[in-house]
Chains A and B, each alone.
Chain A
Amino acid sequence: DGGITQSPKYLFRKEGQNVTLSCEQNLNHDAMYWYRQDPGQGLRLIYYSQIVNDFQKGDIAEGYSVSREKKESFPLTVTSAQKNPTAFYLCASSFPGQGGNQPQHFGDGTRLSIL
């Protein structure tokens, strides 16, 4: 079955440590996205990529980095510069659209906590 796989499901970060969240999709989607979800808040866009080797900052990119070397993969690194990283991180993918007219499909998330 096609879908989006995020790993790990739970992740713990020590102070000053960078951690990388994995996102893999086999839906043949060109576009991929990373969101952060905090209690009581909507999903906030961190980074997105419409095509391999290209990506753009979203609304809250500070303290995060991404790469898009393969169509199927879009890993997110939470750096030590992100001072409040505790959140639920969601990866999504979609077919390319005209300004957001395509639905995005989501993985089951990674919950990141501070040790």
Chain B
Amino acid sequence: EDQVTQSPEALRLQEGESSSLNCSYTVSGLRGLFWYRQDPGKGPEFLFTLYSAGEEKEKERLKATLTKKESFLHITAPKPEDSATYLCAVGATGKLIFGQGTTLQVKP
């Protein structure tokens, strides 16, 4: 069965304290792995697409990496405005399968 698991469920960081979010997946034939940011009461905002193991994408303080079994979203020197829920999704059999998300809180 295709499955996506994100960890941890919640993460609290001090401003400037770097960390990583994990997205583990089992899927028959990965078509793509997608990262989204979701603010409370809003729809998910697309961040990155990764298609093959070894691929990396960066945007400001965020860097996404991909292996054959998992993806990491590295957050370098986070700021309070990076606080949000981060969702991971994998593309398989014509649709996206979403993980439950990691809620990140960055304290000043």
Residues of chain A lying within 8 A (CB to CB) of residue B96 = 45, 100, 104
Assuming A99-B29, A99-B92, A100-B32, is B49 touching A42 (CB within 8 A)? no
Contacts between chains A and B (CB distance < 8 A), count: 69
Q: How many residues of B contact A (CB 8 A)?
A: 27
How far is the CB of B5 from the nearest CB of chain A, in Å?
Answer: 10
Chain A 29-50, CB within 8 Å of chain B: the 1/0 string? 0000100000011110100101
Interface string of B17-51 (1 = CB under 8 A from A): 00000000000010110101000011111100101
Q: Mark A12-32, 1 if CB is under 8 A from B, else 0.
A: 000000000000000000000
Say if the beta carbon of B100 comes within 8 Å of chain A: yes
B75-93: CB near A (< 8 Å → 1, else 0) gives 0000000000001011111
Nearest first, the 5 closest Cβ-Cβ pairs linking A and B are A100-B91, A106-B43, A101-B31, A42-B98, A43-B98
Chain A positions near chain B (C-beta within 8 angstroms) = 4, 6, 33, 40-43, 45, 48, 50, 58, 90, 92, 97-109, 111
Can you list 24 A-B contacts (CB < 8 A)?
A: A4-B43, A42-B87, A42-B98, A43-B98, A45-B95, A48-B95, A90-B43, A90-B44, A92-B43, A97-B31, A98-B31, A99-B91, A99-B92, A100-B31, A100-B90, A100-B94, A100-B96, A101-B31, A102-B32, A103-B32, A103-B34, A105-B46, A106-B36, A108-B43
